[in-house]
Structure 1
């Protein structure tokens, strides 16, 4: 093992039970694990064989019905397939109190690393920031259900599996990904033409950022953005949305929902303990991707990293480098959070003056993604009639971590010296796992 391969020292800010139960993604993870069971306690038709399995089956039923009713009550287009003689459940048939009661009869099981990775993948695939949370997530947020989930969160913490999730960025183990996304774009990124294995940077042409993107055809929007271009686009969009708001303040206009830096930057991910790339398993807004090329990066040793360990780290970036996006995010983030008010994101063009990379680790993601993050009391930025903050639910400025894949680092400056290795990863449907090669 070389010095670059040695993992960084862990911070003593391990995830707690309260961290998991207080955050949307943490609750979803615990909720999903709580509903897992042992296959040998069910027969081939899925019928429970033990009292413990029967309690779990009842909990799953209640969660399904309560989630369906929550979705229906918020206007989601949901349907239930009914058997002969069955009738669709009605409002109040199964409540959050009922779900909490059945969960309290379920015995928490000790999850394995595979259980944790699989359930985390389910959590990430269901993360959405452009519409209300799924009904099951709304049920999990109810105070009585959160308390019923406490024993399951305690069991998860007791395994120690989450201890490494607080690790800062590992500079010797960063991989950039290029996807085979033929269903959405024609042609493969140039890196798919590269041989696999170690790259001799003295003999082979350097792999560039554009090698990770599919080729452009015809009049296609640019995939690569610089930070200055990105800032100009955000400011222009905000101005246009403010003008539209001034003309019709009651019109519900959707907009961009993510708070990441632009796509035209290098980004990278690390690995699970078994070496599987975290970034191939945990993908927000996934299109069913099944093949990727991974490029191992050599970073400049003096790269400056902003670690997002929790909401306060994100709020600090927003306070120091605020970029007002209230007009263009007001409706879409209201749908996701039920909050009206002033919204900001970090101005990545200014963050780049202090930091070369921004890393949202696994623990940081669980603590922050999807949660309304208070930035400050009062308002950051100018007062103007065209800023659509009338009818706020509060007088704070807030932000949202949205669109970040867990354990992702965006590189704001040129600190990547070379690509040292290229590897292929593919999804094995039979094994239900990503495998290398």
Structure 2
């Protein structure tokens, strides 16, 4: 590992990646609400510039969504008419943005905007219209002063650090609609756990819903997961041999098997990062955070750059071309060979895989080049119609920022349980008193 591996983020890093651009774009849209009256009307020249920029983004984003076939509608006031295609372009957005003055975000504003970005991350459909607009060259260049202002705050400096093994929290969510029942961890009192215990007071099974009815079941294990991926790939290939133009959506994640321990560290105020930054967020509002004590010999793979993800895929490739072909082409516009890491093989060398906050911003949602066509075995059943290139690539999808997947048995004990509840009025997570 080179001395620059954990180099802090730069403005160029942010503007070159989908999630980084979205973060900067979101901050540019935020502004100071005290410069608007109770009706939302701007009170100052800077607020008027921001208001015009917001309006331009709204219309241009709506038109971009509509052009991509999204089912969107615009609610019009009396006398208003729907904007015609091309009425507001990315160039118009960039021009409005140039009159907006960059401001230094606070830690709270940064976390809130980051949560909005992560909650809206999707890998099974085209990017949102606003994300499409932000990716335009003119808008990217107009965003540069905002990216540089953000970097200059120093708030992102710590986002490139390696895994903090002394501050890892696993989460159990209380969400009956989406999780199938209350995880058993909610029957345990909060607070520190007696360290005299020789084994964990809370087991892995306690972090998941019971296997009742349609509830989620606990892990298949690596063998069952691999068997499922291989079987699914074979089924999709057979279907594509019958009809090469058949486009059927499928699994979109590139994460290890469900049911492994996962954890994140905390923000400066000790709120677990994992309660705020959740991809494909269902609006979860209550969680128990379990502090983990890890075995010191754990061997960690750090994902700080797209090349780190590429190396995992290059060394341990698992071909998922047929089953990811359509769903990932929707979000990237790219068709061709796709691989993900073969997690059982990764687990033979690494105990955990950690995606830092910086690594997430640089990598998530980007098409990561892995190798040439020789990386994937040629087969008559391999779909090729409509391919946009001959490369083998990957997509890091379904990971949360700062998340570590623990591939092997390296969790020694759970040392503390803390309950967190989302406060809708304050728009923030709050720690509840210890029982």
Structure 1 residue 30, shift from structure 2 partner: 0.2
Q: What corresponds to 1:419 in structure 2?
A: 414
Structure 1 residue 372, shift from structure 2 partner: 0.4
CA–CA separation in structure 2 for the residues paired with 1:230 and 1:12? 32
CA RMSD of superposed structures (Å): 1.4
- Counterpart selection for 1:146 from 136, 140, 144: 140
SS in 1 for 2:26: helix
Q: What corresponds to 2:165 in structure 1?
A: 171
Q: Which structure 2 residues correspond to residues 176-325 of structure 1 after superposition, within 5 A?
A: 176-203=170-197, 206-218=201-213, 222-325=217-320
Q: What corresponds to 2:376 in structure 1?
A: 381
SS in 2 for 1:403: coil
CA–CA separation in structure 1 for the residues paired with 2:60 and 2:422? 33
CA–CA separation in structure 2 for the residues paired with 1:407 and 1:218? 33
Q: What corresponds to 1:4 in structure 2?
A: none
Matched, 1:160 2:154: yes
Write out per-residue CA displacement over residues 142-196 of structure 1, whole angstroms, 9 at most, x where no aligned residue.
0000000000000000000000000111001001100001122442111100011
CA–CA separation in structure 1 for the residues paired with 2:195 and 2:213? 32
Q: TM-score, normalised by structure 2?
A: 0.96
Assess if the C-alpha contact under 8 Å between 2:184 and 2:206 holds in 1.
yes
**Change beyond 3 A, Cα 1:338–1:11:** closer
CA–CA separation in structure 1 for the residues paired with 2:214 and 2:12? 50
Write out per-residue CA displacement over residues 240-273 of structure 1, whole angstroms, 9 at most, x where no aligned residue.
1111111111111100000000112111111001
Assess if the C-alpha contact under 8 Å between 1:66 and 1:95 holds in 2.
yes
Q: What corresponds to 1:398 in structure 2?
A: 393
Assess if the C-alpha contact under 8 Å between 2:90 and 2:139 holds in 1.
yes
CA–CA separation in structure 2 for the residues paired with 1:39 and 1:144? 27
Assess if the C-alpha contact under 8 Å between 2:209 and 2:217 holds in 1.
no
Structure 1 residue 367, shift from structure 2 partner: 0.3
Structure 1 residue 377, shift from structure 2 partner: 2.3
Assess if the C-alpha contact under 8 Å between 2:161 and 2:356 holds in 1.
yes
**Change beyond 3 A, Cα 1:394–1:47:** same
Matched, 1:116 2:110: yes
Q: What corresponds to 2:355 in structure 1?
A: 360
Aligned length: 429
Q: Which structure 2 residues correspond to residues 10-159 of structure 1 after superposition, within 5 A?
A: 12-159=6-153
Structure 1, unmatched stretches of 5+, are 1-8
**Change beyond 3 A, Cα 1:417–1:64:** same
Q: What corresponds to 1:5 in structure 2?
A: none
Write out per-residue CA displacement over residues 365-412 of structure 1, whole angstroms, 9 at most, x where no aligned residue.
000000000001223121112111232111110000100011100000
Write out per-residue CA displacement over residues 102-135 of structure 1, whole angstroms, 9 at most, x where no aligned residue.
0001110111111100000000011000000000
Structure 1 residue 86, shift from structure 2 partner: 0.5
CA–CA separation in structure 2 for the residues paired with 1:231 and 1:40? 54
CA–CA separation in structure 2 for the residues paired with 1:15 and 1:355? 25
CA–CA separation in structure 2 for the residues paired with 1:281 and 1:42? 27
SS in 1 for 2:66: helix
Assess if the C-alpha contact under 8 Å between 2:181 and 2:215 holds in 1.
no
CA–CA separation in structure 2 for the residues paired with 1:98 and 1:229? 52
Assess if the C-alpha contact under 8 Å between 1:303 and 1:356 holds in 2.
yes
SS in 2 for 1:288: coil
Assess if the C-alpha contact under 8 Å between 2:291 and 2:415 holds in 1.
yes
SS in 2 for 1:210: helix
**Change beyond 3 A, Cα 1:221–1:171:** closer
